[in-house]
């Protein structure tokens, strides 16, 4: 059988097609079509789903792990957490209650099991408007204009962070953003200096996973050849951070896979909420991809901050990026 191809058609979902009278496993397969629209680092889509009755085991696909960019698998688990959050948001929309059981470090294949109950009212806290945002959301790579996020929007963002041990820091002080932009520049230079990182990035660009616009136009085939690439990325990305009215960092006390899955859920919830408020979101991971820079980032936050897990710019832009492609759901379904 031939390999499934990346496609943008997965974004054309119609909620009227929900199989309301079908068996729960068929409903789950429909809900998973929303899960795969989640963001993931390099759009690697490193998730796997095993559906049985009203349960879905959600695992990582190690063949899609970015071992050069993400040696500790932090981004792998965050990406899987984003998919879990989309599944939960979609389930609640269709009045199915999702219950997530996390498996922690002992079971590397199955990260979490989500049990779906279509006979009980959802009892959780997600705002209902998040559902429509799943098919609207995309990562922005533009310079943001100088409009700031008002207090009401910031408060709404803070209010959806419900997980114990995940803290949202919203940074708008110019001096701190400046220091963050310097760390970003250093991260870009170090990573682009690493042949394994460049080869890995080139692989994902070559697959077409990152779409045809932003990174390809900026880097393209130069990934493997241009020696000044690190400096160019550093200059561009520093400006992106400085242009952002807000830089958000999610921190945690623990630094393990289960916590990182929860960080992914929180991030995706924030990204969906931001989408409903017209706020653009752009994760920037280079600082976090090198341990020493990650420690220095922690030092820029308030003294009680835990370990930084995810950093993203937030702001306003008139540009609307086209959706990046996905592999179809069938590529991620595994049998028992
Ligand atoms: C854990 C994680 C790390 C990411 N890091 C970056 C990054 O460093 N730079 C960037 O431009 N996008 C980053 N992204 C965004 C992905 O590139 C993006 O989600 C993916 O290409 C799919 O596109 P979409 O979000 O528009 O659907 C990250 C996303 C996740 C979940």
Domain identity same for 251 and 130: no
**CA 123 / ligand 1 centre spacing (Å):** 30
Residue 31 maps to which CATH number? Answer: 3.40.109.10
Token digits of residue 94? 């269709």
Q: CA 38, CA 85: separation in Å to the nearest integer?
A: 8
Distance, CA 46 to ligand 1 centroid (Å)? 13
**96 CA to centre of ligand 1 in angstroms:** 29
Which is the closest atom of ligand 1 to the Cα of 39?
19
Give the Å distance between the CA of 52 and the centre of ligand 1.
30
309 Cα–ligand 1 center, Å: 14
User: Do residues 9 and 298 make contact, with C-beta atoms less than 8 angstroms apart?
Assistant: no
**190 shares a domain with 76:** no
Ligand 1 shell residues, CB under 6 Å: 39-43, 75, 78-79, 82, 138-139, 141, 210, 283-286, 324
Q: How confident is the model at residue 224, as a pLDDT? A: 47
> Which residue has its alpha carbon closest to ligand 1 atom 9?
284
Is 145 within a domain?
A: no
Question: How many domains does the chain contain in total?
Answer: 2
What SS3 state is found at 223?
helix
For atom 19 of ligand 1, which residue has the closest CA?
Answer: 39
Residue 259 lies in a domain: yes
Q: How far apart are CA 198 and CA 11, in angstroms?
A: 29
1, part of any domain: no
CA of 57 to the centre of ligand 1 (A): 24
Mutate to test the pocket of ligand 1, among 73, 184, 239, 283 (most ligand atoms within 8 A of CB): 283
4 is a domain residue? no
Domain encompassing residue 254: 151-315
Residue located nearest, by CA, to atom 17 of ligand 1: 42
CA of 331 to the centre of ligand 1 (A): 20
**Which of 285, 286, 311, 324 is the pocket-test mutation for ligand 1 (most atoms within 8 Å of CB)?**
285
Residues 6 or more apart in contact with residue 89 via CB below 8 angstroms: 34, 126, 130, 131, 134, 269, 272
In terms of domains, do 102 and 203 share one? no
Residue 2 domain-assigned (yes or no): no
In a shared domain, residues 169 and 309: yes
Cβ proximity of 253 and 307 under 8 Å = yes
Q: Where are the alpha helices (DSSP H) in 173-213?
A: 174-192, 195-207
Q: Looking at ligand 1, which residue's alpha carbon is closest to its atom 21?
A: 43
Query: Concatenated DSSP letters for 311-326?
Result: EEEEE--S--PPPPPB
146 assigned to some structural domain: no
Regarding whether 48 and 177 lie in a shared domain, the answer is: no
- Shared domain for 62 and 202, answered yes or no, is no
Q: Are 203 and 179 in contact (CB under 8 A)?
A: no
Q: Residue of the nearest CA to atom 28 in ligand 1? A: 41
| 328 and 308 both lie in a single domain | no
| Same domain, yes or no: 173 and 93 | no
Same domain, 263 and 241: yes
Are residues 176 and 83 both part of a single domain? Answer: no
Give the position, in ligand 1's atom list, of the atom nearest the Cα of 214: 11
Question: Is 84 inside any structural domain?
Answer: yes
In a domain, 196, yes or no: yes
Does 129 lie in the same domain as 231? Answer: no
- Token reading at 154: 């910031």
In a shared domain, residues 82 and 125: yes
Per-residue pLDDT of the chain (336 residues; tens, 9 = 90+): 467 899 999 999 999 999 999 999 999 999 999 999 999 999 999 999 999 999 999 999 999 999 999 999 999 999 999 999 999 999 999 999 999 999 976 655 799 999 999 987 777 769 999 999 999 999 999 999 989 999 999 999 999 999 999 999 999 999 999 999 999 999 999 998 899 998 898 888 888 888 766 566 556 555 545 557 788 888 889 999 999 999 999 999 999 999 999 999 999 999 999 999 999 999 999 999 999 999 999 999 988 889 999 999 999 999 888 999 999 999 999 986
Question: Helices (DSSP H) in the chain: which residue ranges?
Answer: 24-35, 74-93, 130-134, 151-159, 174-192, 195-207, 214-218, 229-243, 257-276, 291-300
Taking the centre of ligand 1 as the mean of its atom positions, its distance from the CA of residue 35, in whole angstroms, is 15
CA torsion sign, 136 to 161 to 238 to 44? negative
């Amino acid at each position: 059988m031939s390999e499934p191809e990346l496609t943008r058609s997965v974004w054309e979902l119609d909620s009227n097609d929900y199989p309301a009278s079908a068996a729960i496993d068929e409903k789950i397969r429909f809900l998973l079509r929303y899960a795969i629209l989640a963001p993931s680092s390099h759009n690697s889509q490193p998730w796997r789903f095993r559906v049985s009755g009203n349960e879905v085991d959600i695992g990582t696909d190690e063949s899609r792990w970015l071992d050069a960019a993400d040696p500790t698998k932090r981004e792998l688990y965050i990406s899987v957490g984003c998919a879990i959050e989309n599944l939960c948001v979609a389930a609640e929309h269709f009045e199915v209650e999702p219950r997530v059981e996390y498996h922690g470090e002992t079971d590397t294949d199955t990260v979490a099991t989500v049990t779906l109950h279509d006979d009980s009212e959802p009892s959780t806290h997600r705002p209902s408007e998040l559902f429509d945002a799943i098919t609207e959301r995309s990562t922005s790579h533009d310079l943001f204009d100088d409009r700031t996020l008002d207090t009401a929007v910031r408060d709404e963002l803070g209010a959806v962070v419900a997980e114990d041990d995940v803290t949202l820091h919203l940074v708008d002080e110019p001096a701190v953003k400046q220091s963050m932009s310097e760390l970003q520049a250093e991260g870009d230079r170090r990573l682009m200096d690493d042949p394994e990182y460049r080869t890995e990035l080139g692989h994902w660009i070559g697959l077409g996973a990152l779409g045809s616009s932003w990174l390809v136009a900026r880097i393209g085939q130069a990934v493997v050849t241009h020696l000044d690439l690190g400096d160019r990325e550093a200059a561009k990305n520093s400006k992106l951070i400085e242009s952002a009215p807000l830089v958000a960092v999610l921190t945690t006390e623990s630094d393990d896979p289960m916590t990182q899955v929860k960080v992914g859920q929180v991030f995706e919830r924030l990204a969906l909420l931001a989408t409903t408020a017209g706020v653009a979101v752009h994760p920037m991971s280079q600082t976090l991809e090198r341990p020493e820079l990650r420690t220095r980032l922690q030092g820029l936050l308030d003294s009680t901050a835990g370990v930084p897990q995810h950093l993203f710019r937030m702001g306003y832009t008139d540009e609307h990026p086209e959706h990046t492609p996905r592999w179809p759901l069938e590529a991620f379904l595994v049998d028992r």
